[in-house]
Amino acid sequence: MANVPSNLKYTKEHEWAKLEGDILTVGITDFAQSSLGDVVFVELPAVGKELKNGQAFGVVESIKSVSDLYSPVDGVVVESNADLPNSPETCNQSPYDNAWMIKIKLKNPADFNTLLSADEYNSFLASL
Amino acid sequence: MELLKTSLHGDHLALKAKMAPFAGFDMPIQYTSVKDEVLAVRNNVGIFDVSHMGEFFVTGPDAIKFVDHLITNDFQNAEMLKAVYSPLCRENGTIIDDLIAYKLNDKKVLICVNASNIQKDWNWISSKTQGFNIELTNRSDDYSLIAVQGPKTEEILKKLEVLDSTEFPYYSIKEAAFNGENIILARTGYTGEDGFEIFSSHAMARTLWIKLQALGAVPCGLAARDVLRLEVCYPLYGHELTDDVTPLDTGLGWTVKLTKENFISKETLTNYKAKYQLVKLSLDKGIPREGYSVLNGDKEVIGKVTSGTMSVINNKGIALALVEKAKISADKKYYIDIRNQQYEAIVHTKAFVTGGHK
């Protein structure tokens, strides 16, 4: 069973999000890393990049597959995990902590409420 | 259409393999991790269920002559019990499939073909039998096939008493008895490592699958198989080899023996000037994938990546790419377009990884 921490929010694209003030930290879920297998490449956006809800902001690749990363909200990238592209295997080892991907300054804080709760994401996983 | 299942399907499910459709079969893509499976084959021993592949037998007085006529490589002069890799071409030189033909005796040849091409190959080969005293049988449904690959293969097969101490050269074949049943052992594979492919009954395959694991062989899926073959630059039908190119376009010139007396496609290939070239490219950053555009030094698109992956051994993106020969720039530079960014590729003349086969 995939690990789905109850204190985070989720998307149907298998990303997690954590809000602190008006800064949203985003990464991929345990389910995502497990489905991908060995992650060998991560490409993240530069700080300052403006993102729209649903826009592809980066790429995560396993040996055999390529997956886009999608922004769960409108906002601006204020930090990008510079260590991650150098150690992509962190995505498999620590998806919810060390493998955080970007921090987005929310344009519209209400966007946060549209994300899935852990229970909702669990139900979504069960439906796959 | 319902997917076909190999005799080991239940064993794959029991191992919780990730399964996916391949050539009409529900096949294991990976068991644990592609990386670990690749490393098992390079350093130790891995086992693959490749029962989806096709087996045709050609028997009769003209068996060898017939196969030599069908394929571009030299089969006639191969020694008894040898295996010969070859493309199978139409009169116009284009590739129907690639195969391995095994000379079992002077009246019996086994041809092993790609699963996705069984029907296509069968239709072609059976349409070419006129004038040859042979019988052609499709035994694809009767045989299971397990590939045992890696430097420890010989050791493990001797422990199992599948192999005895007699000499068994690379790229050769033997019929043997095991547990009171006839099996066919071929020292061939698709990984670049030493290894055997074992053709057997379905029941025997299940026995072998279990026994090989008990001796430390690691089950490996089709994803690892694809990485392994790409690291050693073996072509794959549907990628490097297609209905639209000849062997001379795609790195298989060495398999076309124009000095042979006669064979299908000889006339065309004798006068053929290659339009394409297959190039081996790697990247320091980024992973090339099938379909990505390849550009020359003038940044003009000249072809496409036919297969690309992250190499487990080199930890770099590697690719085979088919490019238009006439458009290769004088500086011999190649760029690969990844998400609208062009990365300069390193050109390789040798395979990315040297396998350990004998």
What is the number of domains present in chain B?
3
Residue at token pair 């530069």: A46
As a whole number of angstroms, the distance between CA B343 and CA B262 comes to: 45
Whether A59 and chain B come into contact, CB under 8 Å, resolves to: yes
Last residue of a domain, one of B231, B266, B294: B231
- Per-residue pLDDT of B177-196, as tens digits, reads 999 999 999 999 999 999 99
Measured between CB atoms, which of A59, A61, A64 is closest to B223? A64
Top residue of A62, A63, A89 to mutate, by most chain B CBs within 10 Å, is A63
Task: Tell me the per-residue pLDDT of B219-277, one tens digit each, with 9 for 90 and over.
Answer: 999 999 999 999 999 999 999 999 999 999 999 999 999 999 999 999 999 999 999 99
| A38 close to B (CB below 8 A) | yes
Task: Summarize pLDDT for B48-98 with one digit per residue, the tens.
Answer: 999 999 999 999 999 999 999 999 999 999 999 999 999 999 999 999 999
Structure tokens at B267: 């006339």
Which residues on adjacent β-strands are paired with residue B200? B144
Cα–Cα distance between B284 and B323 in angstroms, integer? Answer: 21
Average model confidence (pLDDT) for chain B? 97
Residue B51 phi, psi (nearest 5): -65, -15
Range of the domain at B324: 275-348
> Which residue in chain B has the smallest CA separation from A63?
B310
Inter-chain touch A37–B33, beta carbons under 8 Å: yes
Same domain, yes or no, for B35 and B164?
A: yes
CA distance A40 to chain B (A): 7
Mean pLDDT of B139-144: 98
Q: List, for residues B193-214, the tens digit of each pLDDT value.
A: 999 999 999 999 999 999 999 9
**A26, containing H or E segment:** strand A23-28
One domain for residues B21 and B157: yes
What are the domain boundaries of chain A? 11-108
CA distance linking residue B72 with residue B252, whole number of Å: 10
Mean pLDDT of successive 10-residue stretches along chain A, which has 128 residues: 93 96 96 94 97 96 95 97 96 97 94 94 95
Interface touch B287/A38, C-beta < 8 Å: no
**Per the domain annotation, does B246 fall within a domain?**
no
H/E stretch holding B254 reads none
Q: What is the pLDDT of residues B5-38, one digit of tens each?
A: 999 999 999 999 999 999 999 999 999 999 999 9
The alpha helices in chain B, defined as continuous H runs, are 9-14, 34-43, 63-70, 118-126, 153-159, 202-214, 222-231, 266-270
Asked whether B171 and B355 are in contact (CB, 8 A), the reply is no
Pick the CATH number of A11-108 from 2.60.40.1080, 2.120.10.30, 3.30.300.30, 2.40.50.100: 2.40.50.100
CATH number at residue B99: 3.30.70.1400
Q: How far is A92 from chain B (nearest CA, A)?
A: 11
Contact partners, residue B249, CB within 8 Å, separation at least 6? B274, B275, B276, B277, B278, B322
Instruction: Give the count of Cβ contacts less than 8 A between chain A and B.
Output: 32
Same domain, B20 and B69: no
Residue B240 lies in a domain: no
B164: CB partners within 8 A, 6+ apart: B158
Residues near B300 by Cβ (< 8 Å), separated by ≥ 6? Answer: B327, B329
Q: How confident is the model at residue B358 (pLDDT cuts 50, 70, 90)?
A: low
> Are residues B191 and B311 located together in one domain of the fold?
no
Within-domain flag for B264: no
Residue B32: give its domain's CATH number: 3.30.1360.120
B160 lies in the same domain as B297: no
CA distance B254 to B69: 17
Q: Is B339 on the interface with A (CB under 8 A)?
A: yes
In this structure, are B188 and B288 located in the same domain? no
Q: Say if the Cβ atoms of B34 and A62 lie within 8 Å.
A: yes
pLDDT of residue A109: 86
Contact A66, B309 (CB under 8 A): no
Residues B128 and B264 sit within 8 Å (Cβ to Cβ): yes
If we measure between CA atoms, which residue out of B143, B183, B191, B169 comes closest to residue B8? B143
Q: What are phi and psi of A110, to 5 degrees?
A: -65, -20
Mutate to test the interface with B, among A57, A64, A91 (most CBs of B within 10 A): A64
Nearest to A13 by CA among A37, A1, A31, A40: A31
Residue contact A41–B289, C-beta within 8 A = no
Contact between B292 and B338 (Cβ < 8 Å): yes
3-state secondary structure B20-64: EEECCEEEEEECCCHHHHHHHHHHCCEEEECCCCEEEEEECCCHH
Q: Are B85 and B73 in contact (CB under 8 A)?
A: yes
B220 and B84 in one domain? no
Strand pairing report for A66-70 and A102-106: unpaired
Judge contact between B1 and B24, C-beta under 8 A: yes
- Taking phi first (over 0 means left), then psi (-120 to 50 degrees means alpha), and beta for anything else, what does residue A33 get? alpha
- Model ipTM over 0.90: no
B218-219 and B46-49 strand pairing: parallel
Do B202 and B323 sit in the same domain of this protein? no
User: What residues contact B25, with CB distance under 8 A and at least 6 apart?
Assistant: B3, B4, B5, B6, B52, B115
Give the CA-trace dihedral at B324, B326, B332, B335, to 10 degrees. -40
Shared-domain flag, residues B221 and B81? no
Residues of A in contact with B34 (CB under 8 A): 37-38, 62-64
> Cβ contact (<8 Å) for A64 and B35?
no
CA distance B100 to chain A (A): 27
Query: What CATH number is associated with residue B322?
Result: 2.40.30.110
Is residue B323 classed exposed, middle or buried when 0-12, 13-18 and 19+ CB atoms within 10 A define those classes? buried
How does A32-53 read in b/e, with b if 16+ C-beta sit within 10 Å?
A: bbebbbbbbbbbbbeeebebee
| B31 shares its domain with B148 | yes
Determine the distance from the C-alpha atom of residue A68 to the mean position of all C-alpha atoms in its chain, rounded to a whole number: 10
For residue B199, what are the contacts with CB-CB under 8 A and spacing of at least 6?
B55, B110, B143, B144, B145, B183, B184, B185, B186
Measured between alpha carbons, how far is A25 from A77 in angstroms, rounded to an integer? 10
Q: Taking CA atoms, what residue in B is nearest to A61?
A: B287
Q: Do both B154 and B113 map to the same domain?
A: no
**From A37, A59, A64, residue closest to B309, measured CB to CB:** A64
Do B114 and B71 belong together in one domain? yes
Q: Is the dihedral of CA B297, B299, B300, B306 positive or negative?
A: positive
Predicted pLDDT of residue B52: 98
Residue matched to tokens 């069973």: A1
Asked if the Cβ–Cβ distance from A61 to B35 is below 8 Å, we say no
> Are residues B319 and B235 in contact, defined by beta-carbon separation less than 8 angstroms?
no
Chain A residue nearest residue B287, CA to CA = A41
